[in-house]
Structure 1
Amino acid sequence: MITTDNTHARTGTGISGIWELTSTEGTEGLPFHNSIKETLHLDVDGETPQMVVSGTWTLHRLTLHWIAKLEPIGTNAWKGNIFYKDGDVSMFPYNFVTIEAQGLTLRNAKVVYSEGATPLRTAHFTWVNQYFYPVEFEYDTEEGITPVLAIDTHAHPNHPANLPREELSIESVYRRAGFDVKLSTGNSVVPLVGAGNDVRWSDAEMHDAMQVHWSQYSNNPKWAMWVFFASLHEEGYPLGGIMFDDIGSQHRQGTAIFNNSFISNAPENDVQPDAWVKRMKFWTACHEMGHGFNLAHAWQKSLGNPWLPLQDDAEVRSFMNYPFAVQGGVPAFFQNFEYRFSDNELLFLRHAPERFVKMGEAEWFDDHGFKHQHTMMHSTFKLTLRVNRETNRYEYLEPVCVELKLSNVSKDPQIVNKDVLANIDRMTIIVKKNGGKAKQLLPYVHYLQEIEKEVLMPGQTMYSSIFASVGNKGWLISEPGDYLIQVAIHLENEDVLSNELMIRVEPPIDRTEDFLAQDFFSNDVARTLFFDGTKSLENSNNILRTVAERLPHRKVAVHAEVALAMPLMKPFKLLGQDKIIHVTPPQIEEATQLLKPALLERSHVAANTLGHLDYHFYMDRLSESIAAHSNHPEGALAVQNKLLQTLTERKVKPVVLQEIKDKQLMYEKLGPGTSVR
């Protein structure tokens, strides 16, 4: 029999939930006690009780938050040690709390605060709500995509033997975690206008879509999340979902699920492939939305900044762990998965200070914990951080691109994740200005990707690049001075620490640069450069145009022209406020004119400031766009010829040059008037 969770109720005797202060007795150690507003989160029954109570005190503009672990001391009575305090702790001298639920309906509570064995203050509370916080979800769906918003928990035979059979919805998952979930009336199917066959989304398009969506709301933190169900990311099959950390002034308020990615393909010979796919899509949505509540991955609890010292747990059966990453893979995960969050995650969701959890407040992965790198004395790998230029001096306004090189320095083949150098979620990147505080580079967007393994032979290397100047907190490298950059990647058995890379940012050469810097070093420009362009942040585009026009011979012009040109190279999707996806056609001639001085005429300057990897990437995108949309393969061939010449002169590895030659040959075989799709 299938049961359906149609109610908003959580099970239990109804004591758990939020309580509000009604009166107090005793004032020792607490001035202004009559002015305090106080709430309790009592968590002793109902869904997965944590036997915890937390409280928030507000006195004018001062706030204090505390948490205690409880033990029963009688019927409907508990006592516990207050082990966590946050805020103005001078208001709160207590270290023990005793709670007794009273009355026939248990809707009143007597709370005694103590210092040691001495009771100092008694407070009386009344029960308000069975949930700890309210939250609103809005689901929008790309035309032609069917989102999975609920599943039959027994539809696939691989499940725990004691798992109840029910129709479980996303809303039910979060209600059981303690949230009063409501659905927005704005849920809609988003039509695609003029998209043709190109229904893949770039980071820039997704970023612009979320910018437009959240522009309809106030720039204040709110308990609300937008979930967009789309077809595919431009990276294709391996990318299942993303969460944007910073949309304007909003944090953790938007996520996208890509239904046609790897989550849509069941393993061969699976007994219930349709149920497998629905279950995977459902898990993906709950997982990505969990990031919106500031939950880290199960193996990342010890990264970030501390709120409580949490331990990593790579084997936990939680929405926040990857099913394909545990021992035994997906079958082993779902054999013991009860469609819930772990106890540590529930502790965070229900009892962390509200600003840590609420959308629009703390950045993703903030306030979760940080540990020393687990480096080995004789590492299997060597991580090199470098720049492909004559000196480590950067012009004023010039963004900093660095290259990562991972080498297998052991005598044996090593298995690594294919995206080990591209997945910033598994890295710690530190940028420190001389004389200033170290800052961690955190990305604007987080990916749910299929884990693909790769064998790295002895002496073999992998490469990737990092745009080191900006992160989700804005500019990390801007002012003149010396900066240290260092990276650690977190592998399964060890952390690999890079060398320390020192760079210098030169002062402005004239008043023009100094004047332009006031607009250039903005959060909007930072996001535009990070995402390789935008069509929604027009003010940012205007700033980049001004920089390129007034500083044409400075290296920052290369970065500005690349960001302006990239959205023009392909059909670009924009989500309008009319909830219709409008597709603008590629503007190849305009893009080519923008990039001709930047990438072709000053090719060595471009390779110097972008780095060899990114220069290669942008030249490939330009040639592919010309070949696909302009019917002039000879133009694409000219781009590849220039790329080969430049990287040959810069003594790039022969294997890279051969890749360029192979692409040259492909374009040579195309006749005039043909295109590559």
Structure 2
Amino acid sequence: MGFVRAKTTGFDAVLPTRDDPWRALVLREDRAAFITQEKLLSEGPLAQAFFGELAGMPEPFAGCTDAAFEVMVTEYPRRSIFIVGDQCLDWVWNGHGAKYQGPVTGHPNFGKHIPPAYRSDIDTVMQLPNHRTMLFKGNRCAIIEWSPQGSRGCYFEGPLTELGTAHAGWRNLPADMSGDFDHAAFLQGGGAFYRTLLIKGDRALYLDWNTGPVVVGSYAQVSAGLGAMPAEYHRPRLPAAGRFSGTADGERVDLRVDLTGPLPVISGDTFTDPGDEYLNSFVLKGSQPVTLPATITGTVTFANKTELPKISVVVDKLSPGGTATLTRSAADGSWPTTYTCAYVSRFLRTIDWEVDAMAGTKPAPQYATTSYPRPPGLAKKLLTVQSVYAEVGIELRTSGAVVNEIGVEGAGADLLWSDAELHAAMVSNFSGHRNTEQWKLWSFIATRYAEKTVGDTRGIMFDYLGESSQRQGMAVFHSNLVDEGIAGTRQELRTWVHEIGHALNLTHSFEKTDAVPPQPLGPRGGYGDLSWMNYPQNYQGPNGEKGTDAFWAAFAYQFTANELQHLRHGFYHNIVLGGNSYETGAADRAADRAADRPALERFDPPPASRSGLRLELYGRDTFSHGEPVVTEIKLSLDGSTPHADAFPNLSPRGDNLNILVTDPAGAIRPFRPIARACGSRDRRITLDAQTPALYDSAYLGFGADGLTFAQPGSYRLRALYRAPDGSTLTSPEHTIEVSPPQSEQDRQAGDLLMGAQQGTLLALLGSDAPQLAEGNAALDQLIATHPDHPLAVYAHMVKGTNAGRHFLTLGKNGIGVRPADTDTSIEELGAVVQTTLDTGTDAGVDNITLNATMRRLARAHARAGDLKQADTVLDQLVDTFRDKNVPPPVLATIAEQAETTRTELHDQA
């Protein structure tokens, strides 16, 4: 997170000089305009300004300055402080070089005195005489005295209007220029004669501290020198956009005006007033270019039906004091309703962003585009998570760099975090959490992800659990980033931006057809997108270039046009945190129900793959009422080649495999698991005579859309797999039959597995999360009331797996650990194994699940100190599958898994 927030203006900083209060360097990337109050003196490279006295400054300070000020002391040569991100450079002019370079808060004089609320995302900074620094944030400020000979530290913090009677001019600031300044430059006259140049967007103010504004207006009206700067200094960096709000007839409208493209786009959301109950959303696409002030009309699209479909908007300016007047009427112009909307913000949306972190981890990184060769046209700038979204038009507003740093004392190092633990941590630690839609997001910097089946995971938008409001939480896994050597790099920055994109309901570039309704893919099946939402390792360029290096050589650190449209103007429930479930595009909340979603009208299998691979779904084809539906997955050589590369991850929770489900009514929907982790890289293996096939299984009974097989009938399953050569394999259809209950006992037992919480527990293989307590109670009831029913084995499996591992609870005082309950785990998993072996194919779990369960049982015995029994279970595992006459390569893989587990357990003992 940066010390100074993203600027609205086309320049980065104003650095006054001591020769004349109005003589100043206006910095833009690695260039500077040298101005006086009356004129522009020169413009050119910063390194050549003042006869080269600033030459030699290191990057990123030489090209990406966020703020700068001259230290107003009498010693010579001059001394200035340049700030980039959370770092600063204390630079002595005329070839003397750096006096200090490092974190702003680590500056040996003023850094340690910065109040907590001013350690990130301040608006700007200004130096006052005698080693005093003034920090601006909103309509407040902090003043720090930091003389090397001693200081008072921060001796004032409060509203600008309370700076004191000697500075009463601050009380007279006009309403539209009373805070949120982009730049502030101190202009000292004689004695105590204080004046300041304040800049906000395209407006400037010359303030006398004693009496108030001297002049307010455009750059040119306040200073001819400012007005004479080259055009690029006047061109705003952030979108030419603004947010307005107004009320009429018991409704409030939040209006977003966007003039960044060739045609204007206006979108809005309406709510009850009072009450804030959501009513509708619309997007108005203008029919012709405009220059403000203007009346904007065009084509309107609504989220819900309305009796007032005709819209026009009159906008005077996109700046403080601006007004947007919205008129809605019936199609014939009757029944007009007018909303007079006042300017609220330069951002189209504002999100309160709270970040918690485990002790020893690092916050979100920053990246200067000067660090590597830049794609053509990319400016020199510092990128942070907030600046990336600011350029989109979204404000991520924080109260500080990290809200809570959670200690791990007594919890062990390098902890693994499951989806259930992450969700429970969010509910207990996110101060803004509510089970409803709101513009609030929680981020957690954890160590590692517990779900090994999805490969190396850098980050995840994990908030999918149950029927609660989703997309409110995301996490990054610091230990994985360190292992890959990318912590603190542009790769980590991409992870943060990418996961927040998921929270705002953006899909992967190559998975847009999984959205509901499906969205069009970009070039080369989406792999050609130069977007934060693509995987660099998957990139396919227009001229055959591929992979990570090719992606970064061309990537301009941006979203695609369609993604920008969603972020800026998506209907309220499609984007708001806690709104529609992930990937669901229906704006009507009632349409966010699995039974109401539109089907894929047709499914056209992709062209035949030349990867040398074959994909199959197999396993049981009949399931009873409430029984968890599991399909087995096989990837093998197709016989056209003796060997072929493959991605070994066959889980739908990863990035390579998707499963389509056709229900009894003929509707085709993608199965969407409750969480999909974002992997760091695609590990490959080679299938050959020794390893001719890969196997996995997937639980399909419950996902992000709820219950998949809620009704009895015939369902058809088809899998799609992305091969390493970029082609897509399609499996033949695998048909399953879900039977209605055959008896009252079947109905009762099945119903106890049919709830959303029970489905979540089956997907997660158990959880201590308090929000899943009712689901755990239902599993207990199934075991207690129907102990001999075939479905009881699934309750035993969930409870035994969960008991066999610890569960992390994140609290304000640190991390609590519920240790593994080995006795319960042995009892419950033992029941699963015994039932499956006793009943064969009539009941019990599938072969792949049995394999995993027996290895978990061996680990439970080892934790209990009984290595002998652990070895017995592993021997039994191999014997069991030998007796099943599985193919020799499969048996060899199972034997290898058993020996690997045995070695791990003996080494740990």
Partner of 1:66: 283
Q: Which amino acid aligns with 2:282?
A: H
Partner of 2:734: 501
Partner of 2:458: 240
What TM-score does the superposition give when structure 1 sets the normalisation length? 0.84
1:470-522: CA deviation from partner (whole Å, max 9, x where unpaired): 11122212444433333333556544333332222333354344345554322
Partner of 1:18: 243
Partner of 2:782: 547
Q: For 2:684 and 2:535, locate their aligned partners in 1 and report how far apart those are by CA, in whole Å.
A: 15
8 Å CA contact retained: 1:251, 1:361: yes
8 Å CA contact retained: 2:510, 2:521: no
Partner of 1:565: 800
CA displacement at 1:393 relative to structure 2: 2.3
CA change 1:158–1:457 in 2 (3 A) is farther
Q: For 1:400 and 1:13, locate their aligned partners in 2 and report how far apart those are by CA, in whole Å.
A: 49
Picking from 177, 183, 187, the partner of 2:403 is 187
8 Å CA contact retained: 1:631, 1:674: no
1:202-229: CA deviation from partner (whole Å, max 9, x where unpaired): 3443344345446983321111111111
Picking from 597, 608, 625, the partner of 1:396 is 625
Picking from 620, 628, 652, the partner of 2:886 is 652
Picking from 308, 313, 331, the partner of 2:549 is 331
Partner of 2:65: 3
Listed as ranges, the gaps of 5+ residues in structure 2 are 1-61, 67-120, 124-179, 183-200, 202-235, 540-544, 587-597
CA displacement at 1:235 relative to structure 2: 5.1
Partner of 1:177: 392
8 Å CA contact retained: 2:309, 2:331: no
8 Å CA contact retained: 2:661, 2:669: yes
Q: For 2:320 and 2:696, locate their aligned partners in 1 and report how far apart those are by CA, in whole Å.
A: 62
CA displacement at 1:325 relative to structure 2: 2.0
Listed as ranges, the gaps of 5+ residues in structure 1 are 24-33, 267-273
**Greater RCO, CA 8 A, separation 6+:** 1
Partner of 2:615: 383
Partner of 1:615: 850
Q: For 1:103 and 1:438, locate their aligned partners in 2 and report how far apart those are by CA, in whole Å.
A: 45
Q: Which amino acid aligns with 1:525?
A: Q
Partner of 2:258: 43
Q: For 1:564 and 1:226, locate their aligned partners in 2 and report how far apart those are by CA, in whole Å.
A: 29
Partner of 2:352: 136
CA change 1:507–1:612 in 2 (3 A) is same
Partner of 2:116: none
CA displacement at 1:292 relative to structure 2: 0.3
Partner of 2:716: 484
Q: For 1:330 and 1:194, locate their aligned partners in 2 and report how far apart those are by CA, in whole Å.
A: 40
Partner of 2:372: 157
2:475 is the alignment partner of 1:256 = yes
CA change 1:592–1:655 in 2 (3 A) is same
Secondary structure at the aligned position of 1:335 is classed as helix
CA displacement at 1:444 relative to structure 2: 1.0
CA displacement at 1:258 relative to structure 2: 0.9
CA change 1:539–1:384 in 2 (3 A) is same
RMSD: 3.8
Picking from 134, 140, 146, the partner of 2:362 is 146
Q: For 1:447 and 1:104, locate their aligned partners in 2 and report how far apart those are by CA, in whole Å.
A: 40
Picking from 53, 56, 77, the partner of 2:266 is 53
Partner of 1:603: 837
8 Å CA contact retained: 1:18, 1:41: yes
CA change 1:39–1:187 in 2 (3 A) is closer
CA displacement at 1:198 relative to structure 2: 5.5
8 Å CA contact retained: 1:421, 1:463: no
2:581 is the alignment partner of 1:363 = yes
8 Å CA contact retained: 1:52, 1:70: no
Q: For 1:13 and 1:430, locate their aligned partners in 2 and report how far apart those are by CA, in whole Å.
A: 41
Greater Cα offset, 194-203 or 128-137: 194-203
Q: Which amino acid aligns with 1:144?
A: G
8 Å CA contact retained: 1:292, 1:359: yes
CA displacement at 1:44 relative to structure 2: 1.0
Partner of 2:529: 316
8 Å CA contact retained: 1:483, 1:502: yes
Secondary structure at the aligned position of 1:429 is classed as strand
Q: For 1:555 and 1:296, locate their aligned partners in 2 and report how far apart those are by CA, in whole Å.
A: 39
Picking from 607, 627, 636, the partner of 1:407 is 636
Partner of 1:196: 412
Q: For 1:169 and 1:104, locate their aligned partners in 2 and report how far apart those are by CA, in whole Å.
A: 24
Q: For 1:215 and 1:618, locate their aligned partners in 2 and report how far apart those are by CA, in whole Å.
A: 38
CA change 1:668–1:250 in 2 (3 A) is closer
8 Å CA contact retained: 2:406, 2:814: yes
CA change 1:263–1:423 in 2 (3 A) is farther
8 Å CA contact retained: 1:140, 1:188: yes
1:422-448: CA deviation from partner (whole Å, max 9, x where unpaired): 445554433344247544321111211
Partner of 1:586: 820
Aligned counterparts, 1:449-464, within 5 A: 449=679, 450-457=681-688, 460-464=692-696
2:390 is the alignment partner of 1:206 = no
Picking from 67, 82, 85, the partner of 2:299 is 82
Picking from 466, 469, 487, the partner of 2:701 is 469
Count, aligned residues: 647
CA change 1:579–1:330 in 2 (3 A) is farther
Of the two, which has the highest radius of gyration?
A: 2
What TM-score does the superposition give when structure 2 sets the normalisation length? 0.64
Q: For 1:584 and 1:120, locate their aligned partners in 2 and report how far apart those are by CA, in whole Å.
A: 62
1:124-169: CA deviation from partner (whole Å, max 9, x where unpaired): 654332222221111111122223x241414632434654444433
CA change 1:480–1:307 in 2 (3 A) is closer
CA change 1:104–1:285 in 2 (3 A) is closer
Partner of 2:649: 419
Q: Which amino acid aligns with 2:348?
A: F
Q: Which amino acid aligns with 1:441?
A: F
Secondary structure at the aligned position of 2:889 is classed as helix
8 Å CA contact retained: 1:481, 1:506: yes
Partner of 1:28: none
1:617-638: CA deviation from partner (whole Å, max 9, x where unpaired): 12122223433x2332211112
CA change 1:152–1:569 in 2 (3 A) is same
8 Å CA contact retained: 1:198, 1:571: no
8 Å CA contact retained: 2:803, 2:822: yes
8 Å CA contact retained: 2:874, 2:902: no
Q: Which amino acid aligns with 1:574?
A: T
Picking from 657, 666, 672, the partner of 1:442 is 672
Secondary structure at the aligned position of 2:625 is classed as coil
2:489 is the alignment partner of 1:278 = yes
Q: For 1:150 and 1:322, locate their aligned partners in 2 and report how far apart those are by CA, in whole Å.
A: 19
Q: For 2:867 and 2:582, locate their aligned partners in 1 and report how far apart those are by CA, in whole Å.
A: 44
8 Å CA contact retained: 2:662, 2:715: yes
CA change 1:90–1:111 in 2 (3 A) is closer
Q: For 2:506 and 2:666, locate their aligned partners in 1 and report how far apart those are by CA, in whole Å.
A: 29
